[in-house]
Structure 1
Amino acid sequence: MKSSGSELNIADYLPADSIPLPPSHTHQLHLRDLLDISPTLNQAAGAIIDDSFTRCFKSNPPEPWNWNIYLFPMWCLGVVIRHGILFPIRVLILSIGWILFLSSYFSVHFLLKGHEKLRKNLERSLVELICCFFVASWTGVVKYHGPRPSIRPKQIFVANHTSMIDFIILEQMTSFAVIMQKHPGWVGLLQSTILESLGCIWFNRAEKENREIVARKIREHVEGADNNPLLIFPEGTCVNNQYSVMFKKGAFEIGSTVCPIAIKYNKLFADAFWNSRKQSFTKHLLQLMTSWAVVCDVWYLEPQNLMLGETPIEFAERVRNIISIRAGLKMVPWDGYLKYSRPSPRHREQRQKSFAESVLRRLEEK
């Protein structure tokens, strides 16, 4: 059997007494070889796309700087200050905040049952107060740009989403009612008791019928003149503050004015991204409380309305573009819900087995 260099010659695999193949036939065989591997090339391209998708949900740690004998003692000193001095002070601040909040909130909630308007106003102020204590427990340095939101009907606020602390940072300035995934544990307890007074709307991502219920509640909420401004994170999941994924169209198809909010965190002091698949919210808060500070900018941007001839999807993309440009985020065309529907290892093993069998069959033919 002959071989010319590293190229595959079809004639080398034919019997010696066979009729030589014309060039056109040889070209067809090469083309068939290419078509045989096209599914594999398609899968490889899919793997590249998947890689760009997963980068949206990865926390990129900063480069280590304590690599020599001069810097390492300074790094150790920083660890001692953050964990031994700042952290106990922050725990004390948050504890005082919770004591003041709970003693006041439940007194207002039960003693002012017959005075709904006064009770709601006081509860709103108390929720803003506890959010201020939370931000103080991270040594939060938040700079707000633009006019403060006002309570108006037919108005929805949308923002990019990095962590559940986005809501806390925005709530300390304005009493928003938020649409949020229902969480277990102590966070779920707060949702069903304290945050319920703000008119918040909860959903369960695993239940498809929840979408119609949530859409109906959104329409009812924005029609109320006395309701808190409605805050929605249309990405539907936390993204690492470097990218923005597709906005869900629900907030953009009900005919309300959409007010974009852009949030950008400074990763030099703390990584505010919450990867809910790898850590609980409690652990995330402890990570923030043992960092130097949470530094971020918040921009209240120009309100937007659906243009003539514009679809809700195009409206959502236009608002996402406005937020992404202001916050310096890279737009990617992926649905954030794909984060919760990854292929199982069994599926990958089946595809690998199928590819191996096709390669073996091809070798046997040759």
Structure 2
Amino acid sequence: MSENKSKSEDGKLYSSVNSELDLDRPNLEDYLSSESLPEPHGKLRLRDLIDISPALTEAAGAIVDDSFTRCFKSNPPEPWNWNIYLLPLWCFGVVVRYLIIFPIRVLVLTIGWIIFLSLYMPVHFLLKGQDSLRKNLERSLVELICSFFVASWTGVIKYHGPRPSMRPKQVFVANHTSMIDFIILEQMTAFAVIMQKHPGWVGLLQSTILESLGCIWFNRTEANDRVVVSRKLREHAHGADNNPLLIFPEGTCVNNEYTVMFKKGAFELDVTVCPVAIKYNKIFVDAFWNSRKQSFTTHLLQLMTSWAVVCDVWYLEPQTKKPDETPIEFAERVRRMISHRAGLKMVPWDGYLKYSRPSPRLTQSKQQSFADSILRRCQ
């Protein structure tokens, strides 16, 4: 009896609510505009919330699905060691990596620098009159020190495709994950690279050792550097005796899961473009360098205290610009080849947005539009 009575009361309650709200009305806007709706917060009504819902939806969508920010985030692997069986083994691995393997790697890298500097300094300063011999020896020595760097990470690098040859009127383009991309490619072929000018010991290496390879440096904050770099690019690419030119057309490090837009500079030089695809395996360490959160020294220490750096490098078929193709279309075609080979997702973003904030005018216009919609309904 009590159960039937409860069901009856529930039915009456539902009927009263249904009749009050009149949910069967064909036009919900009539109800929302009626004066019978209670106003718990002054004159703000339910339809006001519906009016501002597009702005809220847009904001939530930008937070939840920000495909640009995801290109520059390091995604750590799921923890696997927090149980009674694997934790002791993981602790033992930490001791081995930091107290045994890391000192050995530091020793290997130190020996490599001693050998390199003891040979490079005499070659660079004593063979200035013999340019051809000096350049060949410097190339070999740079390849040697890069091999020592890769050995200090216990690098397991698999190269696929023919080794690049030194030919005029060709440039090599690759996706960019870290500065170690250059080191991994350099140990096979002494490329001349276009790179952002860095401070500290990296900048010292740029201005001394790497300068001998014909590398081109630029400062991202200097607008005049673009004109100078473009001119140097063209001169180097068309030079007969220059080292092969390596360009990272994304212009910034991406987390090896996406590729952002390629800059068109390398694709309007009227030369053969040789695509190179680089894919890191995150089984031991994530090789992505987030330069906004860590220095390159910290990044190297992270690599040297891991078990190994595992990487695949593919030298793809050289490409030339088609007669009816623009440099931007050519760049997208090459980006598609690299992304497909390395299994990366393409996103339509300019990587330089990583270093800039949205325009204040755009932010203020959004704020003003949102404020106007609120004030219009609260008047």
Q: TM-score, normalised by structure 1?
A: 0.88
Alignment coverage as a number of residue pairs? 347
Q: Is 1:57–1:275's contact at 8 Å kept on the other side of the alignment?
A: yes
- Asked if 1:358 is matched to 2:372, the reply is yes
1:12 is aligned to 34
Structure 2: how far apart are the matches of 1:240 and 1:157? 20
Q: Is 1:262–1:324's contact at 8 Å kept on the other side of the alignment?
A: yes
1:185 is aligned to 200
2:92 is aligned to 77
1:243-269 alpha-carbon deviations (Å, 9 max, x no partner): 011000000011100000000111001
1:20 is aligned to none
2:14 is aligned to none
Structure 2: how far apart are the matches of 1:213 and 1:287? 35
Counterparts in 2 of 1:3 and 1:13: CA distance versus 1, 3 Å: farther
Structure 1: how far apart are the matches of 2:247 and 2:366? 41
2:213 is aligned to 198
1:246 is aligned to 261
Q: Which runs of 5+ in 1 are unaligned?
A: 16-29
2:123 is aligned to 108
Root-mean-square deviation over aligned CA pairs: 2.5
Counterparts in 2 of 1:48 and 1:315: CA distance versus 1, 3 Å: farther
2:8 is aligned to none
1:307-330 alpha-carbon deviations (Å, 9 max, x no partner): 120111000000000000100101
- Which structure has the greater CA radius of gyration? 2
Amino acid at match of 2:34: D
Match of 1:88 among 85, 103, 117: 103
1:148-168 alpha-carbon deviations (Å, 9 max, x no partner): 001111000000000000000
Kindly state the Cα deviation for residue 39 of structure 1 after the two structures are TM-superposed: 5.5
Q: Is 1:3–1:12's contact at 8 Å kept on the other side of the alignment?
A: no
Secondary structure (helix, strand or coil) at the match of 2:79 reads coil
Kindly state the Cα deviation for residue 4 of structure 1 after the two structures are TM-superposed: 2.3
Amino acid at match of 1:336: G
- Asked if 1:98 is matched to 2:113, the reply is yes
Q: TM-score, normalised by structure 2?
A: 0.85
Structure 2: how far apart are the matches of 1:255 and 1:284? 36
Kindly state the Cα deviation for residue 207 of structure 1 after the two structures are TM-superposed: 1.0
- Asked if 1:284 is matched to 2:299, the reply is yes
Q: Which runs of 5+ in 2 are unaligned?
A: 1-18, 38-46
Kindly state the Cα deviation for residue 342 of structure 1 after the two structures are TM-superposed: 2.7
Structure 2: how far apart are the matches of 1:11 and 1:134? 71
Which structure 2 residues correspond to residues 1-150 of structure 1 after superposition, within 5 A?
4=21, 9-13=31-35, 38=54, 41-42=57-58, 45-47=61-63, 51-150=66-165
Which structure 2 residues correspond to residues 273-312 of structure 1 after superposition, within 5 A?
273-312=288-327
Counterparts in 2 of 1:91 and 1:33: CA distance versus 1, 3 Å: closer
Q: Is 1:82–1:292's contact at 8 Å kept on the other side of the alignment?
A: yes
- Asked if 1:161 is matched to 2:183, the reply is no
Structure 2: how far apart are the matches of 1:48 and 1:208? 34
Counterparts in 2 of 1:67 and 1:47: CA distance versus 1, 3 Å: closer
1:262 is aligned to 277
1:112-170 alpha-carbon deviations (Å, 9 max, x no partner): 11111111111111000000000000000101011000111100000000000000000
Amino acid at match of 1:13: E
- Asked if 1:317 is matched to 2:317, the reply is no
Secondary structure (helix, strand or coil) at the match of 2:74 reads coil
Structure 1: how far apart are the matches of 2:229 and 2:197? 12
